[in-house]
């Protein structure tokens, strides 16, 4: 791997939505000191890296993805000193911390935007994308007009209140308002983003997960202009912060890794990607057509085809990150029951690349449909507070009155909680902890070790080899199936495998990790 920080090879990431993780001061909202107080739990579960959703100052119209000040922690979470302390405390425990970088847009309350919106030309006039007059809203983009004294409309990236930062256009088709991405007038935009990165890296951050990483340069169909910018960021890291990493929200690993220079790229729930086939897919009638649904009886071939091709294309340059879910999709438990998720986690935690687990998925937290909060809409149900202890108020998330909580906790009697699962045997938590520990102790199972498919038949049985000696065999179905090899030297099993000569019968819903 070219200039790859070695720690990534053994990294297992845990994603924290900070407002929902743990409330350290009793105001009803999660905070940085709350995260610090739970670092031992994170380490105990076997995670050695964190990705924290945006924690910068914001008016929170989009849950913090509308940044008002990149250089300041949002007061609801604490202070810059608290974040620096989080880095130090995490590092003491061998845990790395990525922050969420939002480079595509800011809040319209950002100081940069307020200056860009002034009618008198100034150093921020080209920091955002403006049309050439207040009546002009060119086709193909979202615009706001009539909201500033400047004679122009400004482009939105996402919600109202998220004006698009100006990194230029790859193909300039309307030169009266579009600027080339190579023009010196837009260079300060990316320079400012590099300054943000250096600021937090100098305080102890270990890198960034980059929101909408492919969206910077506009009218850039092959992402050539956007990739040009990210390679500049990677060059800076290689030279000055060689242990720091960039993880892209791109979902196109060959472009994000090979062309743009990211260390890792997320596999999101996009159609035809591995995670869609494995976890989320439904047929036209709405029934699950996911590989890990026990009654779907889906071949693994389609699930793996795009993934294997992208794995081969990126093999020497970076890692593909498979995720259990995140703040933008319904929770894994919405799609798969616990017996199915146990097998899904064996798969997730034994694949190459760098895995990510969304907070609460390790105990089986549920998706809870509810009223939208801070631009969450349907996603709000995946952002509910972490469930720590069934015997404590608000399941141990916060001592605040229920009506003061950021979002309400799962109020059902059987809400899964950390205290109860860590005190019992054979819980989902103990299963995931054992898998994490096995991955850390077995170099064959780590990020850079090669993958080779050994068996992938139409019945649904999947067997793959990691490295030289370690095998993973999965029968996701609700019926026993045969693996055409003898299982010996079992490292971990969920279910039951019975070897008979040169074949092994895998009981319904069995996954086994073994060596020979």
316 is catalytic: no
pLDDT score for 1: 60
Q: Please give the Cα distance from 142 to 156 (Å, whole number).
A: 5
Question: Given this model, what pLDDT does residue 3 score?
Answer: 84
pLDDT digits (tens, 9 = 90+) for 8-35: 999 999 999 999 999 999 999 999 999 9
Rounded distance, CA 308 to CA 160, Å? 39
| CATH of segment(s) 451-515 | 2.60.40.1180
In terms of phi and psi (left: phi > 0; alpha: psi -120 to 50; beta: otherwise), the region of 434 is alpha
Q: What percent of the chain has pLDDT over 70?
A: 100
Eight-class DSSP state of 360 = T
CB atoms closer than 10 angstroms to residue 82: 17
The pLDDT value given to residue 272: 86
Structure confidence at residue 346 (pLDDT): 98
Q: Give the model confidence (pLDDT) of 433-444 as tens digits.
A: 999 999 999 999
Catalytic-labelled residue, pool 206, 220, 249, 361: 249
Where exactly are the structural domains of the chain?
A: 6-103+187-443, 105-166, 451-515
Q: Where are the beta strands (DSSP E) in 222-282?
A: 245-248, 264-267
Q: Are 176 and 214 in contact (CB under 8 A)?
A: no
Out of 66, 100, 126, 211, the active site residue is 211
The DSSP symbol for 165 reads B
* Residue 132 to residue 471: CA distance in whole angstroms: 61
pLDDT 10s digits, 392-407: 999 999 999 999 999 9
Do residues 254 and 273 make contact, with C-beta atoms less than 8 angstroms apart?
A: no
* Neighbour-count burial for 196-208, b at 16+ CB within 10 Å, e otherwise: bbbebbebebbbb
Q: What is the pLDDT of residue 226?
A: 98
Q: What would the pLDDT profile of 323-339 be if each residue is shown by its tens digit?
A: 999 999 999 999 999 99
**What are the residues whose beta carbons fall under 8 Å from the beta carbon of 337, sequence distance 6 or more?**
none
Number of other CB atoms surrounding residue 214 within 10 Å: 21
Q: Name the band, by pLDDT with cuts 50, 70 and 90, for residue 516.
A: confident
Strand blocks (E) in 239-375: 245-248, 264-267, 319-322, 356-358
Q: Is 181 helix (H, G, I), strand (E, B) or coil?
A: coil
Q: What CATH number is given for 6-103+187-443 in this structure?
A: 3.20.20.80
Q: Count each helix (H run) and each strand (E run) in the chain, helices first.
A: 13, 20
CB-CB contact of 2 with 317 (8 Å): yes
Q: Give the mean pLDDT of 66-84.
A: 98
* Active site (annotated) includes residue 374: no
Residue-wise pLDDT tens digits, 274-310: 999 999 999 999 999 999 999 999 999 999 999 999 9
Fold for 105-166, please state it: Oligo-1,6-glucosidase; domain 2 (3.90.400)
Strand (E) or helix (H) holding 487 = none
List, for residues 448-471, the tens digit of each pLDDT value: 999 999 999 777 899 999 999 999
Backbone φ and ψ for 493, nearest 5 degrees, come out as -140, 140
Q: Helices (DSSP H) in 397-505: which residue ranges?
A: 418-422, 428-441
**Mean pLDDT (whole number) for 353-378:** 97
pLDDT digits (tens, 9 = 90+) for 182-199: 999 999 999 999 999 999
Average pLDDT, the chain: 97
The total of other beta-carbon atoms located within 10 Å of residue 163's CB is 29
Q: What are phi and psi of 436, to 5 degrees?
A: -60, -45
3-state secondary structure of 368: coil
pLDDT score recorded for residue 155 = 98
Record the pTM.
0.98
Task: Encode pLDDT of 76-123 as tens digits.
Answer: 999 999 999 999 999 999 999 999 999 999 999 999 999 999 999 999
Alpha-carbon distance 190 to 181, whole Å? 10
């Amino acid at each position: 791997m070219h200039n790859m920080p070695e720690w990534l090879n053994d990294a297992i990431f845990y994603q924290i939505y900070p407002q929902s993780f743990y409330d350290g001061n009793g105001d009803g909202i999660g905070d940085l000191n709350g995260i610090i107080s739970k670092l031992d739990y994170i380490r105990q579960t076997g995670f050695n890296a964190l990705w924290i959703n945006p924690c910068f100052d914001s008016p929170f119209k989009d849950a913090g993805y509308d940044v008002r000040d990149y250089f300041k922690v949002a007061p609801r979470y604490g202070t810059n000193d608290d974040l620096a302390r989080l880095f130090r405390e995490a590092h003491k425990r061998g845990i790395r911390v990525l922050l969420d970088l939002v480079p595509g847009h800011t809040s319209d309350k950002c100081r940069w935007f307020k200056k860009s919106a002034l009618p008198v030309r100034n150093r921020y006039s080209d920091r955002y994308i403006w049309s050439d007059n207040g009546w002009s809203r060119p086709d193909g983009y979202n615009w706001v007009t009539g909201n500033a004294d400047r004679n122009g409309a400004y482009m939105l990236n996402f919600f109202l209140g998220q004006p698009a930062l100006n990194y230029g256009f790859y193909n300039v088709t309307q030169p009266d308002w579009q600027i080339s991405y190579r023009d010196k007038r837009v260079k300060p935009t990316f320079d400012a983003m590099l300054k943000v990165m250096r600021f937090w890296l100098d305080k102890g951050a270990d890198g960034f997960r980059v929101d909408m990483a492919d969206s910077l340069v506009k009218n850039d169909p092959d992402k050539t202009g956007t990739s040009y910018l990210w390679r500049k960021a990677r060059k800076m890291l290689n030279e000055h912060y060689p242990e720091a990493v960039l993880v892209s929200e791109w979902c196109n690993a060959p472009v994000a890794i090979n062309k743009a220079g990211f260390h890792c790229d997320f596999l999101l729930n996009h159609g035809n990607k591995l995670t869609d086939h494995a976890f989320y897919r439904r047929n036209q009638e709405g029934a699950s057509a996911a590989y890990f649904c026990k009654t779907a009886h889906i071949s693994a071939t389609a699930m793996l085809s795009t993934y294997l091709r992208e794995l081969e294309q990126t093999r020497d340059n970076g890692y593909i990150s498979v995720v259990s879910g995140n703040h933008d999709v319904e929770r894994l438990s919405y799609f798969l029951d616990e017996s199915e998720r146990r097998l899904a986690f064996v798969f997730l935690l034994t694949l190459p690349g760098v895995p990510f687990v969304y907070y609460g998925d390790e105990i089986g937290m549920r998706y809870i449909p509810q009223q939208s909060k801070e631009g969450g809409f349907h996603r709000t149900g995946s952002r509910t507070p972490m469930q720590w202890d069934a015997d404590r108020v608000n399941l141990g998330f916060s001592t605040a009155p229920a009506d003061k909580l950021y979002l309400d906790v799962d109020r059902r009697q059987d809400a899964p909680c950390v205290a109860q699962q860590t005190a019992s045997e054979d819980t989902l938590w103990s299963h995931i902890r054992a898998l994490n520990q096995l991955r850390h102790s077995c170099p064959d199972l780590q990020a850079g070790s090669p993958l080779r498919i050994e068996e992938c038949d139409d019945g649904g049985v999947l067997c793959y080899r990691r490295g030289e000696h370690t095998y993973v065999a999965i029968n996701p179905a609700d019926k026993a199936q045969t693996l055409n090899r003898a299982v010996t030297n079992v490292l971990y099993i969920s279910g039951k495998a019975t070897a008979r000569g040169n074949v092994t019968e895998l009981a319904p819903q069995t996954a086994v990790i073994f060596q020979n």
